[in-house]
Amino acid sequence: MIIGVGIDVVDIPRFGATLERTPRLLDRLFTAEERTLRLPSLAARFAAKEALAKSLGGPVGLSWQDANVVKDEWGRPEFVIRGSVQARADELGVTTIHVSLSHDAGIASAMVVAEG
């Protein structure tokens, strides 16, 4: 059963300018592993985290650090969640989170489906 769906789009150059203006934002939004990625991949992961929050009903108090986008053994993106995000997923009965990322022509996008 689908519990929630989220989608988000990020303008990559604008996102890069925001990170340059506010360097501490990088640490706040991304895990150490994610911070090693290039800007288009960071923007796609930010879009994924926003889409995940939307799929979970957009509750206050989710920590960006509690949702890490990694690649599975075939190179597909997947979430590793913990803490506040795991608690919200458990509250809603989410058992599976599907995520798709894309970045091209200055735009990064992500779609998330939370399933229970």
pLDDT, tens digit, 9 for 90 and up, residues 25-84: 999 999 998 999 999 999 999 999 999 999 999 878 889 999 999 999 999 999 999 999
Closest by alpha carbon to 113, among 29, 57, 38, 55? 55
pLDDT of residue 20: 96
Specify the DSSP class assigned to residue 93.
T
pLDDT of residue 60: 83
Longest dimension (CA), the chain: 42
pTM for this entry: 0.93
Domain segments of the chain: what residues?
2-115
pLDDT of residue 11: 98
Helices (H) and strands (E) in the chain, counts: 4, 5
pLDDT bin (cut points 50, 70, 90) of residue 24 is: very high
CATH top class, domain 2-115: alpha beta
| Residues composing the chain | 116
Closest by alpha carbon to 61, among 42, 39, 86? 86
